[in-house]
Amino acid sequence: MILKRDDFSFDFEDAVRSVNAYSLSTKIGCFIMDSKGDPIYASNSSGQLCRSCRDVCGGAHLYGSYQAERFGGKYVYFCPIGLVYWASPITVNNSMQAALVGGPVLMMAAEEFLLDDLIRQVDIGEERIKALTEYVKTVTVTEPEVVNSLSELLCIVASSISCGKTDRNYSQRKFHEIQAKISESIHKIKLLTDESKSEYPFQKEKDLMSKISIGDKQASQKILNELLGYVFFSSGKDFEIIKARTLELVVLLSRAALEGGADSEEIFGLNFNYLSEINNFRKVEELTVWLSKIMARFTDCVFNLADIRHKDTIFKAIVYIKRNYMKRITLEEVAGHVYLNPSYFSKIFNAEIRSTFVSYVNNMRIKAAKELLLDSSIPLAEISNLAGFEDQSYFTKVFKKATDVTPGRYRESRGRF
């Protein structure tokens, strides 16, 4: 079904055919999302797309498409309630115009999946939580290796669309919108005859940093247009000077994003990608649209997607823990798996789960040990090792603290405690 349609700088009909073919052949839902995170077309298999929490998932899909653009064209991620999706950007002239999103699936069984503490942090109400619980039971459980292959295939599909026909109307509209606002700023600057008033507006830079640091896109764009107007007016139309001043503004934008709490590795990675593009531009209009895109992206990193990024990280960590708790597993190892330094990972894990990493892993091992203890064919001495505890005495201590009985007494009672 078509949800919304606009003019795009790629072949929209080709994208629709590709989405339908992907969904039909994989039996997995797929949809097209615009650069703002709104779905514009969904295959028939996506009819139940986020029905229970549609209004809280848009940011997750935008985050996934941003990360896919950052990490080479594909990215697997979790939505705020733990369903698994994957995204690939549709690009035109190396700029993301839209994205393909596949899913949802689960990467663990439904009975293991619903993490009440996390789900209830998403404000969707008790009735919708019940509906979501029922919906999750219908979602396919898919091995991580298969999800990675589905993501790879979607990336190939998105790449083929990116190489299709292009329509310059969309880009030209953006040029004209931004140029009109910059022209207004230039006109105002020309009216300033007092030399002291025409000096570079450093206060505007401070205002811009302040607005970016709180995630205010609209105000940030207005101030950025004013700054660009001054740059173009004062440069004497020298394109090399304009590029140099634009680079300075990129550094300013990235510093503002970092001060606002954006992830440093993400910002530095984006900076590298963006700065490598600047020598491809030959027109002022291209620079202005490019810089506005950077500003919007950095603002998203500060504000709109911060919670999404944390939840995606936590769900990935939990999946990893569930698959590896029976082995020796450390906070450093899991932090490395989700590409965070250990201290920062520990901080957001405690905040989201309301439990320390060690306590969470031990609780998971105790749960496994309880099930193992009910199988009398397994020697008591082997239970601790099978549950992931390396030391028998430590296992007994932790188990008794959690259940008020020893492992042996728990087995004797058949778990009736």
> How far from 285 is each of 183, 231, 265, 361, 363, CA to CA, in Å?
12, 13, 29, 54, 57
pLDDT of res. 137: 77
Question: Tokens in use for 120?
Answer: 């209830």
CA dihedral 330, 364, 146, 98 (to 10 degrees): -80
Position 273 scores a pLDDT of 67
CA dist 111 and 137 (Å) reads: 8
Q: In the prediction, which pLDDT does 191 show?
A: 47
**Two tokens, residue 395:** 């296992």
Domains for the chain: give ranges and CATH numbers: 12-162 (3.30.450), 169-304 (no CATH), 307-412 (1.10.10.60)
> How far from 328 is each of 340, 341, 358, 388, CA to CA, in Å?
20, 19, 12, 7
Q: What sections of 71-201 are H helices per DSSP?
A: 110-113, 116-119, 126-136, 144-162, 169-190
pLDDT (0 to 100) of residue 300: 72
Residue 168 to residue 292: CA distance in whole angstroms: 18
Question: What does the pLDDT read at residue 101?
Answer: 95
Q: Bridge partners of 89? A: 99
Question: DSSP string covering 225-269, please?
Answer: HHHHHHHHHHTTT-HHHHHHHHHHHHHHHHHHHHHTT--HHHHHH
* Per-residue confidence (pLDDT) for residue 38, from 0 to 100: 83
Q: What is the pLDDT of residue 139?
A: 85
* Dist CA 174 CA 180 (whole Å): 10
- Each residue's pLDDT, cut to its tens digit, for the chain (417 residues) gives 344 445 567 888 899 999 999 999 999 999 998 887 888 899 876 545 455 455 556 578 888 888 888 777 889 998 877 789 999 999 876 678 899 999 999 887 666 555 555 555 556 666 776 777 777 778 888 888 899 899 999 999 999 898 644 344 444 444 445 445 545 544 444 444 444 445 667 787 788 777 776 667 778 778 877 777 777 777 767 778 887 877 787 777 777 777 766 666 667 666 666 776 777 777 777 777 777 777 777 777 665 566 677 788 888 898 889 888 888 899 999 998 887 888 888 988 888 888 899 999 998 899 889 989 888 888 888 888 898 888 888 889 988 888 888 888 888 887 666
- The total of other beta-carbon atoms located within 10 Å of residue 22's CB is 22
Predicted confidence at residue 31, as pLDDT, reads 93
DSSP alpha helix (H) spans, 325-356? 331-337, 342-353
pLDDT of residue 120: 54
Q: How confident is the model at residue 166, as a pLDDT?
A: 39
- What distance in Å separates the CA atoms of residue 345 and residue 310, rounded to the nearest whole number? 9
